């Protein structure tokens, strides 16, 4: 019998030991011809047992490729190999020696030959390796942290989707003529958006109208909340007469800022829609001016009916005239910007007449401390200053392209309007408080 065959038989006898039984019908792979390395494949059952012991799936043996030197060496040990077959312990030692021979042959063999030997160590997970966490193993805090992370990622993806989807900012030179209002704003304009949904989605993007939209939208929300709170007070706190008087101011403030932010939102929808809401925007300015006069005139001439009726009628006529003038399409043209500002400044300055009348009638001290004249003057200065800034288009006129997105003249004008409205609300609250605590008029 050939020496190589004797060694293979010895290995087979080792596999027949208890705990390493080979399944019936499992054969032994034939040696690879022309190579120094051959493999003895274990059966699936024995492979599993072998893997648990040292993680090796194959046992390697050295076999000569026909050289006499190797054959002589193995032939010289033939008797030892035969003795190994007679003893189980000896066969086990022979098997271990063959395994060591196979390992050393891998280390000594060239790279090209060792690459043909398949060894899979560490295939099975060690008992010390941690298993992946199951959902039930996670603590409540860990689950909450995971949910928060997913919610944050979803919000970021949504904002990125809203930010990048649909349209891109357009320079002023590429806008249609009906969208060209301020040529000192060079970049960052919205293109024409043909749907109201796209227009309202643009509220959450940065462009030339973002500041105009948010300043008056927040102002509209604020005054709506104040109005609801004030008008729902029980009669023991606020009588219905005061509610009606203040309602005129609240209505003017909410309509002015509401029309304004809607106009700046849908202005790019189409030319027809832009013109319609532009007219409503001008109407809102006139309504705010008229509504602001009503409480002040009512409480300043609290005991004089004739001046009260005359001045309320005057401001109503002037406000209606401003609304009618703003209905003309040419009134909204960019070249008539100074005219628009002049009309609304004149409407506001008409309040100088009843203010002088009160000073002459009641005196300067009473006008300051009882009629809130100081707050009225501050309100007028804020309105006029904002309108002048809007008319001259400062500061973008001096630095074209530098204030395209923020701190442009129209945004500053909006901030001044909101501030003036709050100042006026404080002033009329002071004068109303004085009149209601001073008592009724003496006949």
pLDDT digits (tens, 9 = 90+) for 225-268: 999 999 999 988 899 999 999 999 999 999 999 999 999 999 99
Q: Are 266 and 199 in contact (CB under 8 A)?
A: yes
For the ranges 132-146, 156-170, 346-360, the lowest mean pLDDT is seen at 132-146
Considering only CA atoms, which of 436, 406, 433 is closest in space to residue 208? 406
- Please give the residue that has the higher pLDDT: either 133 or 185: 185
pLDDT digits (tens, 9 = 90+) for 147-198: 888 888 887 776 666 555 668 999 999 999 999 989 999 999 999 999 999 9
What pLDDT is attached to residue 47?
Answer: 44
The pTM of the full predicted model, rounded to 2 decimals, is 0.63
What pLDDT is attached to residue 171?
Answer: 95
CA atoms of 186 and 397, how far apart (whole Å): 11
- Please give the residue that has the higher pLDDT: either 386 or 100: 386
Find the distance separating the first CA and the last CA of the chain, reported in whole Å.
Answer: 143
Which H helix or E strand runs over 98? Answer: helix 88-108
What pLDDT is attached to residue 8?
Answer: 57
Confidence bin at 339 (pLDDT 50/70/90): confident
- The one-character DSSP state at 170 is B
Q: Judge whether residue 123 has pLDDT over 50.
A: no
Q: State the average pLDDT over residues 330-352.
A: 86
Q: State the average pLDDT over residues 128-139.
A: 53
Considering only CA atoms, which of 281, 252, 243 is closest in space to residue 410? 281
Which H helix or E strand runs over 78? Answer: helix 78-86
Supply angle C-alpha 421, 423, 427, rounded to 5.
115
For the ranges 44-58, 171-185, 280-294, the lowest mean pLDDT is seen at 44-58
Confidence bin at 332 (pLDDT 50/70/90): confident
For the ranges 158-162, 395-399, 401-405, the lowest mean pLDDT is seen at 158-162
CA atoms of 355 and 310, how far apart (whole Å): 13
Considering only CA atoms, which of 138, 126, 133, 3 is closest in space to residue 72? 3
Confidence bin at 394 (pLDDT 50/70/90): very high
Q: Which residues participate in the annotated binding site for Zn(2+)?
A: 264, 410, 414
* Cβ burial 79-105 (10 Å sphere, 16+ → b, else e): eebeebeeeeebbbebbeebbeebeeb
What pLDDT is attached to residue 128?
Answer: 47
For the ranges 184-198, 256-270, 318-332, 385-399, the lowest mean pLDDT is seen at 318-332
Residue 81 backbone phi and psi in degrees, to 5: -65, -35
Q: State the average pLDDT over residues 418-437.
A: 93
Domains (ranges, CATH) in the chain? 3-114 (no CATH), 172-438 (1.20.1070)
CA atoms of 381 and 423, how far apart (whole Å): 11
Confidence bin at 88 (pLDDT 50/70/90): very low
Q: Rounded to the nearest 10 degrees, what angle do helices 373-392 and 352-362 cross at?
A: 160
What pLDDT is attached to residue 165?
Answer: 61
Q: Which residues participate in the annotated binding site?
A: 264, 410, 414
Share of the chain above pLDDT 90, in %: 48
Query: If you average pLDDT over every residue of the chain, what do you get?
Result: 77
For the ranges 53-57, 92-96, 205-209, 396-400, the lowest mean pLDDT is seen at 53-57
């Amino acid at each position: 019998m050939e020496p190589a065959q004797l060694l293979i038989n010895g290995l087979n006898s080792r596999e027949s030991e208890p705990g390493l039984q080979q399944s019936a019908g499992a054969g032994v792979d034939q040696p690879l011809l022309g190579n120094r390395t051959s493999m003895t494949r274990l059966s699936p059952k024995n492979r599993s047992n072998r893997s648990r012991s040292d993680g090796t799936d194959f046992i390697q043996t050295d076999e000569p490729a026909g050289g006499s030197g190797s054959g002589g060496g193995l032939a010289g040990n033939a008797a030892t190999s035969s003795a190994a077959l007679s003893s189980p312990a000896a066969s086990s030692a022979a098997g271990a020696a063959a395994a060591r021979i196979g390992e050393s042959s891998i280390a000594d063999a060239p790279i090209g030959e060792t690459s043909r030997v398949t060894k899979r160590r560490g295939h099975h997970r060690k008992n010390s390796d941690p298993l992946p966490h199951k959902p039930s193993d996670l603590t409540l805090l860990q689950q909450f942290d995971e949910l928060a992370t997913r919610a944050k990622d979803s919000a970021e993806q949504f904002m990125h989707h809203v930010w990048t989807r649909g349209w891109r900012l357009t320079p002023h030179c590429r806008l249609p003529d009906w969208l060209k209002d301020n040529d000192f704003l060079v970049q960052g304009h919205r293109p024409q958006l043909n749907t109201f949904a796209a227009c309202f989605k643009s509220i959450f993007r940065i462009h030339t109208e973002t500041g105009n939209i948010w300043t008056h939208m927040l102002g509209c929300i604020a005054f709506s909340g104040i109005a609801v709170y004030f008008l729902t007070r029980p009669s023991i706190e606020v009588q219905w007469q005061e509610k009606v008087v203040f309602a005129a101011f609240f209505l003017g403030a909410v309509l002015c800022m509401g029309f304004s932010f809607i106009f700046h939102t849908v202005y790019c929808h189409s030319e027809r829609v832009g013109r319609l809401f532009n007219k409503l925007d001008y109407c809102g300015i006139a309504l705010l001016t008229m509504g602001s006069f009503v409480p002040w005139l009512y409480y300043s001439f609290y005991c004089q009916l004739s001046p009260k009726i005359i001045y309320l009628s005057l401001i109503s006529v002037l406000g209606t005239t401003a609304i009618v003038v703003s209905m003309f399409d040419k009134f909204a043209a960019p070249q008539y910007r100074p005219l628009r500002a002049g009309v609304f400044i004149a409407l506001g300055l008409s309040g100088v007449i009843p203010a002088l009348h009160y000073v002459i009638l009641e005196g300067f001290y009473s006008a300051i401390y009882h009629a809130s004249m100081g707050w009225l003057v501050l309100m007028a200065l804020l309105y006029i200053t904002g309108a002048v800034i809007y008319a001259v288009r400062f500061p973008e006129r001096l630095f074209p392209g530098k204030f395209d997105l923020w701190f442009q003249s129209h945004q500053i004008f909006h901030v001044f309007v909101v501030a003036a409205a709050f100042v006026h609300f404080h002033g009329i609250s002071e004068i109303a408080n004085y009149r209601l605590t001073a008592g009724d008029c003496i006949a």
